[in-house]
Amino acid sequence: MTRISVTVDGVEYSDEVEPRTLLVHYLRETVGKTGTVVGCDTSNCGACTVHLDGSSVKSCNVLAVQADGHEVTTIEGLAGAAASDGQLHPVQQAFHETHALQCGYCTPGMIMQAVDLLAENPNPTETEIREGLEGNLCRCTGYHNIVLAVQQAAGAMSRPVPSEAGSDTGASGVSGVEREGVAS
Amino acid sequence: MTITEDAPTATGGNGTGEVGKARRRKEDQRLITGRTRWTDNITLPGMLHIAMVRSPYAHARITGIDTSAAKAARNVVGVFTGDDLKDIQGVNANAWPITPDQVTPNHLPMAVDRVACAGEIVACVVARSAAEARDAAELVDVDYEELPAVLDMKEALTDENLAHPDLGTNKSAFWKLDSKEAGTGGDVDEAIAKAREDGVVIEREYRQQRLIPAFMEPRSVVVDPTGEQITMWSATQVPHILRFLLAATTGVSESKIRVIAPDVGGGFGGKLQTTPEEFIAFAVGRQLGKPVKYTETRSESLLSGHHGRDQWQKLTLSATKDGTVTGFNVELLADLGAYVALVGGGVPVLGAWMFNSIYKFPAYRFSVQTILTNKTWVDAYRGAGRPEATYGIERMMDELANELGMDPLEVREKNWITHEEFPFTTVAGMTYDSGNYEAATARARELFGYDELRAEQRRRRESNDPVQLGIGVSTFTEMCGLAPSRVLGSLNYGAGGWEHAHIRMLPTGKVEVVTGTSPHGQGHETAWSQIVADRLGVPFEDIEVLHGDTQISHKGLDTYGSRSLVVGGEALVLAADKVVEKAKVIAAHMLEASADDLEFSGGRFGVKGTDKGLGIGEIATACFAAHNLPEGIEPGLDSEATYDPVNFSFPHGTHLCAMEVDTETGATKMRSYVAVDDVGVIINPLIVAGQEHGGLVQGIAQALWEGAEFDENGTLVTGSFVDYTLPTAADTISFVTDHTVSPSTTNTLGTKGVGEAGTIASTPAVVNAIVDAVRHLGVDDVPMPCTPERVWRAVQSGGADRQVESAGDAQPHFGAAAPNQDTPETEGGAQ
C-alpha cells in the first residue's frame, strides 16, 4: 500500500492505496465520487473523464498514485462554489437546455471533456467539436444535441467578451450547424 | 411541423398546455451533476463482490473444477460452481416459444456439466473486494473436453454437428405466415410464377449481421438478503419481469422479492433480459446471507450480454412491368445463438407483419427457421425484428426501381397505402389505424433537396468523378405499443401487454405518479408529468413520477418495444380520469351543488354560471382531513388503472440519405440525412428529436461500422470497444428531422411511439445510398457493415461475383430448392 494525498473537488484526501489502483476506482470507491463512472476496460469510452490539474484525463488510464500531490476535478465539483446555490457550469446548463443527454451515463465524462475542449478552443467549429469529443462514446443521443450543447456553451462562455463583429448572440458556432426542426 | 389531421384534444380541456411543450427534462439535474444512483454505485455494509469464471470454449464438457487455490486466496469468502448452485439457481427462461414444438435448450444461469458458448459462466468467486474476487477467479482451474462447435447457421441446418447434442437437432422452430392460408391475401407462388412470364421477379439474399446493443452502463446487480425481503437492484429494463421470473424459477415467493431498477444507463433491448448474472447473484446472496454485488466489465458485457439481429434473408419480389408489386416471399434463417433467450425466437417473428411495410401487396408469405449455434444468445435489440424487415423490403424496392428504370420514390408511391385508405388491413393481417405517407415523403423531399441532389448525381456520373453520390430512400412503418394481450396470447407469448399507472393525490396538493414502465434514458419523468399536468390541471413542477421499484410500482410490464407512452401513457390518462371522477363527487358535496352543474377546467371544479369553485388540490386536502365528505364516499382520490391496448400503433416516416462514395478507396461519407417521422401526437418535441437522433445513429452504425465477429473457434473477436466499433461524434453528422402528425386513433393521446423509429428506418437508407452511388459500376449490393474494403471490393468486382439480372430475363441467383450460392465473402469476416 502507498499513501497518497489528492485534492478532489477542492477537498484534500489522504489515503492508503494499492499501487495498482486506478484513479477512477480510487475516486469511486475510496473518495465516494460515484458521479464519475466506468464504461469500458480499454480506455475507449471516456465515461470516466475527469480533470487532472485542469486538463481532461480518462481516470481509468491514470493510476491513483500518479495523482499524488495533484488536483482532480470531477463532475461533482465542476460548478465549484456556485453549486451550493444550485448553479450549474455553463456546459452543464447547455447540456440540459439542448437535451444533450438521455440515459446520462456518458454525460459526466462528456461534459468534462467538453469543458476541456472549450478551454483549449473557446470558439470551435462543428468539426472541431466532433473531433474534440472523439474519445467519448455516447449510445443514446447520436451526438447531435451534444454538439449543439457545446456550441451553445461556447456562446454562453464567450458572451462577456466584447464581440468585434457586433454579433449579439455571441454564439457564432451555432449558425454553422443545421438545426433540426424541434421548434418548427 | 406539418399537421395532416386534426389532433384529438389530449388535454382533457384543462388548458395547462403541457402536451407538445419542449420541456427540459426533470431527470437532467442529477445526471449532469453526478448525483446518480447507478447500480454499481450502491454499497451496503459488509457487501461482498462476485467475479465470474467464464468458459473460453464455444462448446465443451466440464470435466473438473478445482476451486482450492481460489478458496485459499486472500479475503475470498466463497467459490461456487454449477454443482453447488444447481438446486437453487433457477432458470433463464424463454417467455415466447413461437411454436408448440419449439426446441428449447435448458438455460441454466451457471453451467453444470457442459458449456454451449464462450463466455458461459462455470464458477464464481466471492470476495471482500472486487479486485480480490477477480484475482481469485484467475485461480479457479477448470478442465474442459472440447466438443465440436456449430458456428455458421447454414451449416447448422445440416445437423452434422450439434450445438446441443442431447437435443438431436439445431433447428429450434419453423414459423410461417401465408396470406393465402390466413385468408388475408392471395397465393404468393402463383404471383411469382405469373411474373416470371410477363412481369419482373427480383430475387436477393441479404445478411443481417450480428450486432451488440452496447448500452453505455455495463450491467450490474446488487442483492441484499438482509431483512424480510430479498432486495435486488439491477441495471435492467424489466424489473417486474425479473421479479416474476426469479420467483417462478427459484421457488422463492414473489412477495419475498423486491426488485429495483435505479438509474439505468441505456438498454436498447440489451437489458430486456433476465440474465445468468442476476440469477447467480441472487443465489449467492441467499447462500451467504450477505449483500453481494456483481458488475460486469465491458469485455464481459460484449461477450455475454445478449446480441441482436443475425439473419439471412432470402427474398423474392414479383411485380408487373409498371412497378406494381404482386407478391413477396420472405424466407429467413435466424441464429438464436446457444439458447432461446427471453424473447429469442419471437424477435424475427415480429418481422412477419412488417416485411410488407407500407405497401398494398396482394400476396405474401413469411417464414423463419430459428437455429441454435454455439455463440452468444440473441434477443431484442432496438427495433427487434422490424429493422430486419424494413431493411429487406426497402432494399428490394430499390432493386425493383432499378430493374424497371423507375425512381425509387415513384415505385414506392405506386405501391403504398394512400392516406384516404386508412384504416387499412394489410396482407399480413394488421390493421393500420392512420398514416400519411404522401405528406411525410413530400416534406422529406423538400428538406432534402431531392431533385437538386439527383442532378448533382447525374453530373458526377457524366464527369466520371472518382467520388460518386448516391441517394438512399427508406419509407418505413413499424408496429409499436406492444401489445394487445389477446394478440400476445394467440402467439403463445408468456405474458400480457397491458400497463399500469397509479396516481396519488397528496394532502398538500402535490401529486405522485407511479408507472409500471421502467425508463432508462427516455425521459418518462418529464413526459409523464406533462401528460398528468394537463389531465389534472396541476402544475408540471408539482408532479413526481415514481418507477422502477416493485415495492412502489407493484404492477407493470416495463419498457421495451416503444410501448411506454402508447400503453403506459394511456394508463396514466385512465388513472387521472378516475381521480377527477372521484373528486367531482366530493366537490359537488363541498360546493353544495349538483355534480351535473360542475365543470372541470384548469384543475378546478367550477359551478356553472357562478364563480364558485374548488381546486383539485383543495379536494385532496379535504380528503386527508375527511371531516366533511359525502355519505358512503371513501376518503381519498388516489386511483389506479390498468390499460390493455386494443391495437398496435404504426409510426411511419420517410428518410432520405445522401452518401458520397470514393470509388478508388471505397471510403464513404454521409453528406446529408433527412428524417421526417410521423409518430402521432408529440408530448415533448425535445425528447422525440433526441430519440430520433440516437435511433438514427444506431441504424447508421449497423450499415457502416458495427458487426459482432467470431473466429473459427467461436471466440468473439469484437470483444472490446477497440474492435466493436461504436460510432463517435467524429464519425457522424448533424441531422435534419421534422414531423408530420397523423394521430393514432386507438389511444386518447393520439401517440404512436418513437423509441425505435430511427434505427428501423436508417439502415436501408444508408445502404441504398451506397449502392445507388456505385450502381452504374455494376454493384447491386454491399454486405453490412459497408466498410471501405467491402465497398472497394464491390466496385472492383463490378458485381461480377453476383449473377446480375439481365433486363427482361430475370434469373434467380438461387434456385428455390438449392442451397445458398453466395460467395463466402458476403457473409462477413472481412473487415
pLDDT, one tens digit per residue, over B402-447 is 999 999 999 999 999 999 999 999 999 999 999 999 999 999 999 9
B620 within 8 A of B505, measured Cβ to Cβ: yes
- Report pTM: 0.93
Residue of A97, A137, A145 with shortest CB distance to B693: A145
pLDDT tens per residue across span B651-700 = 999 999 999 999 999 999 999 999 999 999 999 999 999 999 999 999 99
**What integer is the mean pLDDT of A103-131?**
98
Mean pLDDT within B527-540: 97
In A, which residues are within 8 Å of B266 by CB distance? 102-103, 105, 139-140
pLDDT of res. B482: 87
Distance from CA of B100 to the nearest CA of A (A): 37
pLDDT of residue B815: 46
Which residues in chain B are closer than 8 Å to A74, comparing Cβ atoms? 34
A162 in contact with B, Cβ within 8 Å: no
Question: pLDDT digit string (tens) for B60-95?
Answer: 999 999 999 999 999 999 999 999 999 999 999 999
Q: What is the rounded average pLDDT of the residues B482-487?
A: 92
Average pLDDT over residues B95-106: 97
Nearest Cβ partner for B265 among A18, A105, A144: A105
Interior/surface letters A108-122, b for 16+ CB within 10 angstroms, e for the rest: bbbbbbbbbbbeeee
Question: What's the rounded Cα separation, in Å, for the pair B149 and A178?
Answer: 50
B contact residues 115-134, partner A, Cβ 8 Å cutoff:
131
Q: Reply yes or no on whether the pLDDT at B798 is more than 90.
A: no
Alpha helix stretches (DSSP H) within B186-329: 188-198, 239-250, 276-288, 298-304
So what's the pLDDT on residue B705? 98
Q: Which residues in chain A touch residue B215, judged by CB atoms under 8 angstroms apart?
A: 103, 105, 139
Q: Report how far residue B757's alpha carbon sits from residue B760's, in angstroms, rounded to the nearest whole number.
A: 5
State residue B481 phi and psi, 5-degree precision.
Answer: 70, 50
Using one digit for the tens of pLDDT, what is the confidence trace for B736-751?
Answer: 999 999 999 999 999 9
Alpha-carbon span B297 to B131, nearest angstrom: 12
- Angle subtended by helix axes A90-97 and A144-158, to nearest 10: 140
Rounded to whole angstroms, how far apart are CA atoms B554 and B552? 6
Burial category of A127 from C-beta neighbours within 10 Å (exposed 0-12, middle 13-18, buried 19 and up): exposed
Please compute the mean of the pLDDT values over residues A4-26 and round it to a whole number.
98
* C-alpha cell of residue B159: 445437423
Determine how many CB atoms are found less than 10 A away from the CB of residue B767: 29
Exposed e or buried b per residue across B619-642, where buried means at least 16 C-beta atoms within 10 angstroms of its C-beta? bbebbbeeeebeeeeeebbbbbbb
- Whether B816 shows a pLDDT value over 90: the answer reads no
Instruction: Give the per-residue pLDDT at A182.
Output: 34
* pLDDT tens track for B551-576: 999 999 999 988 999 999 999 999 99
* b/e code B506-528 from CB counts within 10 Å (16+ = b): beebbbbbbbbbbbbbbbbbbbb
Residues B297-335: tens digit of each pLDDT: 999 999 999 999 999 999 999 999 999 999 999 999 999
- Round to whole Å and give the CA distance between A10 and A28: 16
Q: How many angstroms separate the Cα of A58 from the Cα of each of A113, B219, B508, B725?
A: 9, 21, 46, 19
Listed in sequence order, the residues at least 6 apart from B605 whose beta carbon sits closer than 8 Å to its beta carbon are B583, B584, B587, B588, B591, B598, B599, B613, B614, B615, B616, B619
Contact present, B498 and B640 (Cβ < 8 Å): no
CB of B761 within 8 Å of any CB in chain A? no
C-beta atoms of B40 and A95 within 8 A: no
Q: How many cross-chain Cβ pairs, A to B, lie less than 8 Å apart?
A: 199
For residue B1, give the nearest of A99, A182, A177 by alpha carbon: A182
Residues 503-562 of B with CB under 8 A from A: 520-523
Tell if the CB–CB gap between B24 and A181 is shorter than 8 Å.
no
Nearest chain A residue to B724 by CA: give it: A44
Nearest to B293 by CA among B217, B229, B235: B235
Mean pLDDT confidence for B189-216: 98
User: Given this model, what pLDDT does residue B166 score?
Assistant: 97
List, in order, residues 6 or more apart from B671 with CB less than 8 Å away: B469, B658, B659, B660
Task: In whole angstroms, give the CA distance from residue B91 to residue B104.
Answer: 12
Closest CA to B105 of B372, B406, B344, B439: B372
Cell numbers that stand for B353 in this block: 407483419
Q: Which of A 92-121 lie inside 8 A of B, CB atoms?
A: 92, 95-97, 99, 101-108, 111
Q: pLDDT-based confidence at A158, cuts 50/70/90?
A: confident
Q: Which three cell numbers stand for residue B121?
A: 459462466
Q: Is residue B3 pLDDT above 60, yes or no?
A: no
Q: According to the model, what pLDDT value does residue B831 have? A: 36
Q: What is the DSSP string of B397-461?
A: HHHHHHHHT--HHHHHHHHBPPGGG-SEE-TTS-EE----HHHHHHHHHHHHTHHHHHHHHHHHH
Res B828: pLDDT: 39
pLDDT value, residue A82: 74
B257-260 and B424-425 strand pairing: unpaired
CB contact under 8 A, A104 and B1: no
Residue A97 banded pLDDT, cuts 50, 70, 90? very high
Average pLDDT score over chain A: 89
Query: Within the 274-303 window of chain B, which residues sit less than 8 Å (CB to CB) from chain A?
Result: 297-299
Give the pLDDT confidence of B349-366 residue by residue, as tens digits. 999 999 999 999 999 999
* A26 interface with B at CB cutoff 8 Å: no
ipTM of this model? 0.94
Inform me whether the C-beta atom of residue B27 falls under 8 Å from chain A C-beta atoms. Answer: yes
Q: To which residue does cell 419449439 refer?
A: B102
Would you call A182 an interface residue with chain B, using a CB distance cutoff of 8 Å?
yes
> How far, CA to CA in Å, does B156 sit from each of A27, B100, B164, B335?
48, 21, 11, 9
Cβ atoms within 10 Å of B422's Cβ, excluding its own: 17
Share of chain B above pLDDT 70, in %: 94
* Per-residue model confidence (pLDDT) at position A80: 85
The secondary element (H helix, E strand) that includes residue B686 is helix B685-704
- The answer to whether residue B1 scores a pLDDT higher than 70 is no
Please report, as a single letter, which amino acid is at residue A75: I
Other C-beta atoms within 10 Å of B421: how many?
11
Q: Give one word for B735, left, alpha or beta, with left for phi > 0 and alpha for psi -120 to 50.
A: beta
Quick: pLDDT tens for B620-642. Answer: 999 999 999 999 999 999 999 99
Q: How would residue B14 be classed by pLDDT, with cut points 50, 70 and 90?
A: low
Minimal Cα distance from A146: which residue of B?
Answer: B729
C-alpha cell at B134: 477477480
Alpha helices in B75-215 (DSSP H): 82-85, 130-137, 153-156, 179-182, 188-198
Q: How far is A53 from chain B (nearest CA, A)?
A: 20
pLDDT range class, residue B257, cuts 50, 70, 90: very high
> For chain A, what is the total number of helices (H) and then of strands (E)?
5, 5
3-state helix, strand, coil in chain A (%, to 5): 40, 15, 45
Cβ–Cβ below 8 Å for B217 and A39 = yes
Half-sphere exposure of B104 (CA within 13 A, CB side): 22
Of A138, A158, A151, nearest in space to A179 by CA? A151
The DSSP bridge partners found for residue B529 are none
Q: What is the per-residue pLDDT for B799?
A: 58
Averaged confidence pLDDT in chain B: 94
- A184 vs B738: CB contact, 8 Å cut-off? yes
Q: Name the residue among B689, B730, B734 with its Cβ closest to that of A131.
A: B730
Q: Which of residues 53-72 of A touch B (CB under 8 A)?
A: none
Q: Which residue out of B1, B24, B32 would a mutagenesis test of the A interface target, given it has the greatest number of A Cβ atoms within 10 Å?
A: B32
Query: Collapsing DSSP states into helix, strand and coil, what is residue B39?
Result: helix
Kindly identify which residue of chain A lies nearest to residue B443, measuring between CA atoms: A181
Q: What number of other Cβ atoms are within 10 A of residue B609's Cβ?
A: 7
CA distance A144 to chain B (A): 5
Sort out which chain B residues have CB atoms less than 8 A from A19's CB and list them.
none
Q: Which residues of B touch A184 (CB under 8 A)?
A: 1, 738
Closest C-alpha to B217, from A58, A140, A60 = A140
Residue B317: φ, ψ to 5°: -120, 130
Per the CB < 8 A criterion, the answer to whether B732 and B397 are in contact is no
How confident is the model over B798-819, as a mean pLDDT? Answer: 46
- pLDDT score of B802 more than 50: no
